[in-house]
């Protein structure tokens, strides 16, 4: 991973002088699945050994985005083919997919909710049961897997009554930071991916982060200082490549839920490549000067487009559009960060570490607890059955 920006060209050389504890960061519960050698021994994962299933994941926010965050980068072709993710309680899309699919013994349905009581997960569960019964599918509950906390919540009680396989959601890891835990990894394991190989990449990324954390911190502190001095209230993240678009969506979630807790909180806007380049850039460029920009990029060489073969080669057109957007924003004197990664899971995991670190340091400067979500909990209570 490489990070570069134009902050020096903007003649800005200030940054926050803030002491942080690397150990405090690395000892956060979200990293326990990586730090603790026998962490996954508490789960019986041997039942999926040498097997692969078409997997359907139902969950809101981090409950499903954690899997999407990894799967879309590892192999975007699996989405809506061998991996279906339902993160919106829309009966139209769910009915359309499940009605048209030939459901058989190669299908598993994973329902994820940390609390086990959310109204959305109950909707997903009973709608799927209804659809599968209408399709005359036998032994429905043998196809189901639950991930929820080990207490007397709705999902846990339902699993007990119907003899559904149930994995315990780590009570110390919130949904939005669960990509390294059973919540994020079980769907991949059920699909046939190796837990050992996944963890190997995560550990390598952690070691790379430890080696470079001071440089990363300096970049965060200088960018944050620039935002505050110039009273920038909006951060726009742009991703042009399908493989890394989910990390932009996920960063939007952890940014909003972790940092949006007072009147000084900033907005994070997730924009998608050329789609938003053709719809929002007029506002971005000539609108209020209250924004800075972050580009999530795949490292590849951009060629001059001379013919149709150059036009359709790999990521060439995407990179041309991306570089054009960066050049335009820099010419308009916006602060632009470019985060570039190689096309491998280790570098991608390193990026995930960096973005969590960014939230951690921002929360320290703002003196807030980035792990809770009090407003969301109120919302959940107000939408229960």
pLDDT tens, position by position, 99-119 = 999 999 999 999 999 999 999
Per-residue tokens: 200? 């190997």
Average pLDDT over residues 259-273: 94
Mean pLDDT of the chain: 93
pLDDT of residue 201: 98
**What are the pLDDT digits (tens) for 314-342?**
667 888 889 999 999 999 999 999 999 99
Rounded to a whole number of angstroms, the distance between the first and last alpha carbons of the chain is 46
**What are the pLDDT digits (tens) for 48-60?**
999 999 999 999 9
Residue 385 has pLDDT above 60, yes or no: no
Domains of the chain and CATH, by start: 2-23+201-375 (3.40.50.10490), 52-191 (3.40.50.10490)
Determine the Cα–Cα distance for residues 255 and 177; give it in Å rounded to an integer.
11
* Residue 301 CA to its chain's centroid (Å): 26
Q: Could you tell me the pLDDT band of residue 306, with boundaries at 50, 70 and 90?
A: confident
Share of the chain above pLDDT 70, in %: 94
Alpha carbon distances (Å) from 217 to 259, 333, 349, 376: 17, 23, 17, 29
Determine the Cα–Cα distance for residues 82 and 76; give it in Å rounded to an integer.
10
**What are the pLDDT digits (tens) for 147-173?**
999 999 999 999 999 999 999 999 999
Crossing angle (nearest 10°) for helices 345-366 and 195-229: 40
Q: Which residue has the higher pLDDT, 308 or 178?
A: 178
The beta-strand segments (E) located in 132-281 are 144-148, 165-168, 234-239, 267-272
* 8 A C-beta contact, residue 131 and residue 98: yes
Determine the Cα–Cα distance for residues 359 and 252; give it in Å rounded to an integer.
11
pLDDT of residue 383: 63
Q: 3-state DSSP call for residue 17?
A: coil
Residue 254 has pLDDT above 60, yes or no: yes
Q: Could you tell me the pLDDT band of residue 302, with boundaries at 50, 70 and 90?
A: low
Q: Could you tell me the pLDDT band of residue 72, with boundaries at 50, 70 and 90?
A: very high
Residue 380 has pLDDT above 90, yes or no: no
Per-residue tokens: 42? 């508490």
Q: Could you tell me the pLDDT band of residue 373, with boundaries at 50, 70 and 90?
A: confident
Residue 378 has pLDDT above 90, yes or no: no
**What are the pLDDT digits (tens) for 193-250?**
999 999 999 999 999 999 999 999 999 999 999 999 999 999 999 999 989 999 999 9
Residue 313 has pLDDT above 90, yes or no: no
Average pLDDT over residues 281-301: 92
- The CA angle 326-225-208, to the nearest 5 degrees, is 70
Q: Could you tell me the pLDDT band of residue 376, with boundaries at 50, 70 and 90?
A: low
pLDDT of residue 247: 96
Residue 296 has pLDDT above 90, yes or no: yes
Residue 252 has pLDDT above 60, yes or no: yes
pTM over 0.85: yes
């Amino acid at each position: 991973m490489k990070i570069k920006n134009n902050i020096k060209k903007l003649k800005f050389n200030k940054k926050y002088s803030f002491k942080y504890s690397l150990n405090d960061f690395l000892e956060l519960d979200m990293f326990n699945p990586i730090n603790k050698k026998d962490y996954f021994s508490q789960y019986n994962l041997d039942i999926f050994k040498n097997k692969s299933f078409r997997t359907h994941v139902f969950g809101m926010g981090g409950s499903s985005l954690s899997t999407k965050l990894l799967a879309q980068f590892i192999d975007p072709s699996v989405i809506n083919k061998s991996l279906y993710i339902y993160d919106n309680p829309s009966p139209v899309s769910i009915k359309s997919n499940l009605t048209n699919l030939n459901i058989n013994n190669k299908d598993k349905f994973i329902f994820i909710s940390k609390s086990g009581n959310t109204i959305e997960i109950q909707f997903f569960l009973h709608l799927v049961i209804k659809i599968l019964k209408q399709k005359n599918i036998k032994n429905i509950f043998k196809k189901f897997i639950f991930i929820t906390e080990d207490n007397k919540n709705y999902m846990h009680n339902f699993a007990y009554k119907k003899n559904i396989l149930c994995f315990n959601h780590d009570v110390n890891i919130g949904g939005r930071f669960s990509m390294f835990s059973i919540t994020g990894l079980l769907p991949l394991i059920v699909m046939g991916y190796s837990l050992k190989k996944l963890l190997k990449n995560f550990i390598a990324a952690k070691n790379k982060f430890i080696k470079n954390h001071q440089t990363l911190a300096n970049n965060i502190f200088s960018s944050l200082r620039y935002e505050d001095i110039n009273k920038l209230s909006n951060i726009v993240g742009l991703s042009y490549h399908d493989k890394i678009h989910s990390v932009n969506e996920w960063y939007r979630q952890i940014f909003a839920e972790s940092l949006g807790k007072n009147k000084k909180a900033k907005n994070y806007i997730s924009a998608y490549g050329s789609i938003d380049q053709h719809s929002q850039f007029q506002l971005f460029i000539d609108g209020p000067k209250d924004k800075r920009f972050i580009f999530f990029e795949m490292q590849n060489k951009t060629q001059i487009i001379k013919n149709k073969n150059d036009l359709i080669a790999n990521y060439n057109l995407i990179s041309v559009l991306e570089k054009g957007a960066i050049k335009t924003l820099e010419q308009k004197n916006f602060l632009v960060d470019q985060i570039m990664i190689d096309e491998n899971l280790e570098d991608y995991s390193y990026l995930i570490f960096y973005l969590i670190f960014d939230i951690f340091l921002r929360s320290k400067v703002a003196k807030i607890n980035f792990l809770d979500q009090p407003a969301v909990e109120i919302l959940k209570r107000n939408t229960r059955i």
